[in-house]
Amino acid sequence: MTGSAYSGLLGLAAGAVLACAVVTLWRRDLRAVVAVLAVQGTALGITAGVLAAHSRDIGLGVTAALVLAAKGLVIPALLRRVVRRDPGSRESAPLVNVPASLLAAAALIVVAYLASGNITALAPDGPARLAPVGVATVLIGFLVLATRRKAVSAITGLLLVDNGVALVAFLLTAGVPLLVELGASLDVLLVVVVLRVLATTMRARLGPFDLDQLRELHD
Amino acid sequence: MLIYTILAVPLAAGAAAVPGRRWAGWAAAAANGAVLVLGIILAVQVTRGRPAGAAGGILRADALSAFMVIVIGAIAVLASCQSVRYLSAEAGRGACTPRYAALYTALVQAFVCCMLLAVLAASLGVMWVAVEATTIATTFLVGHRGTDGALEASWKYVVICSAGIALAFLGTVLFYFAALHAGGHPAGSLDWTSLMAASRRMNPGVVRLAMGLIVLGYGTKAGLAPMHSWLPDAHSQAPAPVSALMSGVLLTVAFYALLRFKAIADGALGPGYPRVLLVAAGLASLAVAASLLLTQRDYKRMLAYHSIEHMGLIALGAAAGTPLAIAAVLLHILGHGLAKGVLFLASGEILLAEGTSEIAKVPALLSRRPVLGGIFGFGLVALLGLPPFSLFASELNMLRAEVAAGLGWAAAIALACMAVIFAAVMAHGRHLLLGDAPPHGRREATPRAVAVPLAAGLLACAFLGVSAWPLQPLLHAAAQVVAS
């Protein structure tokens, strides 16, 4: 792969991860959000694949395949089943409306660039210069966690945070050691399974519910 | 070899938990007892200067790891003895099928095993995986009672802790990045010792960001304010033996992770910056605990907020960072684990007997249930840091170390918060233990199988307070590992 094609592809794939995060803020139909998550997982896997192809790193190649399978296919399939059982599932009234949350996302992207100054200064030539993209994805994930009220949206927020962290890991250090990556992917998968079980149990008990209906426990 | 055995024994007991096997609960207790014994053997080995490594550098035990294995083993024994009682009581009221009981035992053992893996991991990445796995193992345990409140608590628990721990992973990645750019660090290694070796050459700007993320991330799991909001819910809704494990050890296992990273950050930045972070989190935790304990109406939540206070004290002690301070922090970790474990287990027994966790509805335990009330009372005395229990010695030493490290002002604020907490807990405790006994109240006995382990836990805590000599070499060696 030539140098310019490599950096172009890398920028495109990493940019797609962030773009997907912004789109999850924009779409309120939860089925669409799950589809966007699948695209994001795929883009993350492609980022890792491009890095692996460039550095001829077999371990990273395996990681890329793993990420594609887990985040591009398995996790979205798990979520799709939650959403499908609830046909009218929409984020009806987020705490912050869509235009305001898009503006907030723009602000968060600026914050991400400012916060990552020290990181990019340390390795100005390598893929590390794209690190702010991953940090911005993490911050948007927290925005989703804080302002959305559906169970699936909370899971979406967690996955955005996780994908953002994974993207930073790929860009800065060409991924963590394979064993750690395996464990981390398994953990994320299990967290999604656990949350799915909890969400299903709660809906069986409460009917269609918003997360702010959960106020049994307080001081 | 020894390290493998420590991990395998509790796991085997968990795998043996099959529906209908009555002895599975006792097997789990025996396995956790074995962990305690093996931890002591490990501690003797490492204090004699033999750091044990295993499995291609994935696992390693130094004095700090060995100490944490002892803490986990000690509280796991207490909790699993009480688990047998909890499961038979739940089965008695028809709330727990044999399948559920087996799942419970298997999950508790998996939980214990994850904590052991976290403290025995050589790689900081594996440690992260293990800490995150504890969240997964405990989620269903928190929701085990199946009430609306328990479901809500486990939802909040897993969402908040997973989001927090993701930040810790980002912090870990940044430390790794800084090490790779420091030169001399082998690629593909997140080993704590090699990161420590590279720490002095790490880029300070990156480490500053990384350490902030680590404190946020592992601080969430350790229940430090302002990331504590899941803690009172999860700890009060979980079955008592699980609360004992979560409050008594899981919080401090997360803090152990923080201590490992603090040592690296100390090397890269000097002690100033990590100290600021820990003092801020510690004082915030103490303030939150003090203000919310005053108005607490539920005794399980009272104990949960009390854990936040102790995590705050531990954070302040770690902020001082001298060998004396770290040794006191570690003794406090063990003492708090024992006392809080005993109190949560006793509170589970009270809940079982009285059917409510409201303080106002449970008066005069000392006259109605003298043994159980006595254990609860002595447990409160221990937790409030009164002699002869070990928390008195460790709190005193932490405060002394803080003053010596120039943190006298923080120690003074901490003392003020502790005074408020003391008054609040005394008021609640007075009602619970003395109060006005309802007329026609009968004296009720406490089963010996409940009372004996709890009393043993308190005695151990008191013994350590009178004389910590058996632990002295281990504490000293463990403190040297991470002291600044």
- Which residue, among A165, A164, A157, A167, has the nearest Cα to A192 in the 3D structure? A157
Reading the block at residue B18, the tokens are 């099959």
Task: Using a pLDDT cut of 70, give the percent of chain B over it.
Answer: 98
pLDDT of B183 > 90? The answer is no
Contact A78, A192 (CB under 8 A): yes
Averaged pLDDT for residues B86-107? 86
Q: How close, in Å, is residue A90 to chain B by CA atoms?
A: 20
Residue A1: band (very low, low, confident or very high) from pLDDT cuts 50, 70, 90: low
- Please state, rounded to an integer, the average pLDDT across all residues of chain B: 91
Among A173, A178, A193, A201, pick the best mutation site for testing chain B contact (most B Cβ within 10 A).
A173
Task: Using a pLDDT cut of 90, give the percent of chain B over it.
Answer: 70
The residue behind tokens 């293990």 is B130
pLDDT of B50 > 80? The answer is no
Q: Does B134 touch chain A (CB under 8 A)?
A: no
**Which residue of chain A has the CA closest to B131?**
A187
Of the candidate ranges A114-123, B13-22, B235-244, B284-293, the one whose mean pLDDT is the lowest = B13-22
Residue B191 forms beta bridges with which residues? B123
**Which residue of chain B has the CA closest to A164?**
B170
| Strands B52-54 vs B59-61: parallel, antiparallel or unpaired | antiparallel
Residues 231-290 of B with CB under 8 A from A: 232-233, 236-237
CA atoms within 13 A on the CB side of B263: 22
pLDDT of B213 > 90? The answer is yes
pLDDT of A110 > 90? The answer is yes
Residue B147: band (very low, low, confident or very high) from pLDDT cuts 50, 70, 90: confident
pLDDT tens for residues B114-143?
999 999 999 999 999 999 999 999 998 998
Q: Name the strand (E) or helix (H) holding B52.
A: strand B52-54
Residues 109-138 of A with CB under 8 A from B: 115, 117-119, 121-123, 128, 138
Inter-axis angle of helices B251-269 and B472-482, to 10 degrees?
50
- Which residue, among B456, B435, B293, has the nearest Cα to B354 in the 3D structure? B435
Residue A9: band (very low, low, confident or very high) from pLDDT cuts 50, 70, 90: very high
Averaged pLDDT for residues A91-95? 74
Q: Does A219 touch chain B (CB under 8 A)?
A: yes
Residue B54: band (very low, low, confident or very high) from pLDDT cuts 50, 70, 90: low
pLDDT tens for residues B340-349?
999 999 999 9
pLDDT for the residue B53: 65
**How big is chain A by its Cα radius of gyration, in Å?**
18
CA B429, B431, B437, B438 torsion-angle sign: negative
Residues of B in contact with A112 (CB under 8 A): none
pLDDT for the residue A124: 84
Q: Does A91 touch chain B (CB under 8 A)?
A: no
Cα separation, B19 vs A130, in Å, equals: 52
Between vectors from CA B151 to CA B148 and to CA B156, what angle results, nearest 5°?
A: 125
pLDDT for the residue A28: 86
Among B151, B207, B233, B288, pick the best mutation site for testing chain A contact (most A Cβ within 10 A).
B151
User: Is the pLDDT higher at B445 or at A24?
Assistant: A24
- Of A122-136, A141-155, B252-266, B291-305, give the range with the top mean pLDDT: B252-266
- Which residue, among A24, A136, A139, has the nearest Cα to A76 in the 3D structure? A24
Q: Under an 8 A CB cutoff, do B149 and A123 touch?
A: no
Residues 444-483 of B with CB under 8 A from A: none
Q: Under an 8 A CB cutoff, do B153 and A142 touch?
A: no
Q: Does A177 touch chain B (CB under 8 A)?
A: yes
Closest CB to B173 among A141, A173, A202: A173
pTM for this model (two decimals): 0.95
Q: Give counts: helices (H), strands (E), chain A.
A: 9, 0
Q: Does B128 touch chain A (CB under 8 A)?
A: yes
In chain A, what are the domain boundaries? 3-213
Residues 131-170 of A with CB under 8 A from B: 138, 141-142, 145, 151, 154, 157-158, 161-162, 165, 168-169
